[in-house]
Structure 1
Amino acid sequence: MATEDDVRRIALALREVTEKPSYGTPGFRVKDRLFARVHEMPDVLLLRRPSVEDREALISSNPAAFFTTDHYEGHASVLVRLPEVDVDELRELIEEAWECRAPVTVRKLGPKPQ
């Protein structure tokens, strides 16, 4: 079971990431581009995905863990129920979200500082 503390630890370990509030909750940005934020709903994380189609496939693969709301219709973001994913899966999801938003120059260096 993943937690908000896991989100913060994983996200801040990635290259060029800072934490800055977004809609009143912790948000994580790479070069000031938001890729993840803790949602207002308890134990829910909003993550950027490569496309709406990718988001839909993720939701179909595990609707207990992944979902969306009408607010995100047409947007390449997914909501994640943190208690429904383990830390390894969370790490992979956060790294993928980072890759979606990192500038090319940063992405070429990889998600983790050497």
Structure 2
Amino acid sequence: MATWDDMARICLALPATSEGNSRGWRQWKVRDRSFMWERPLGKKDLAELGAAAPAGPVLAAYVPDEGAKAALIAEEPELYFTTSHFDGYPTVLCRLDRMDERDLTELAAEAWACRAPRRLLAEYPDPPAAGS
């Protein structure tokens, strides 16, 4: 079961990252571009998801494209989901408390790579994972 502190440790192990706050929610950035953030569900989200709405913490993460988002949701619907708010955006929502360290590390590295500037990506084609 992952926590926000696990998320922070994993994200901050990636090159040129920082932690910030937006609307009182934690977010992680690579060179001032958000790649993962805390995303509490709003009233509209809860109404849309109904009984399927997670009770625990929700994390949002960039993914390469809509196809990657659809694949994650289809492969592991117990971890990944979306709402209509994110239709057309390469962003997936995650049930943080159901993720393990491996899932979280892979997702963070992918989200980081989606948002990192080209020069930084060239410098770190395989970004180091937490604890590496």
Q: TM-score, normalised by structure 2?
A: 0.81
Q: 1:11 corresponds to which residue?
A: 11
Q: 2:35 corresponds to which residue?
A: 35
Q: Structure 1: which 5+ residue stretches go unaligned?
A: none
For residues 1-114 of structure 1, the aligned pairs below 5 Å read: 1-41=1-41, 42-110=56-124, 111-112=127-128
Which entry has the higher C-alpha Rg, 1 or 2? Answer: 2
Deviations for 1:35-71, whole angstroms, at most 9, x for unmatched residues? 0001124411100000011101100001110000111
Separation in 2 of the partners of 1:35 and 1:4? 15
Amino acid of the structure 2 residue aligned with 1:53: G
Separation in 2 of the partners of 1:109 and 1:92? 19
Q: TM-score, normalised by structure 1?
A: 0.93
Structure 1 segments (4+ residues) deviating >6 Å: none
* Percent identical: 39
Residues 1:23 and 1:75: Cα distance change in structure 2 (over 3 Å) = farther
Q: Structure 2: which 5+ residue stretches go unaligned?
A: 42-55
| Superposition CA RMSD, Å | 1.6
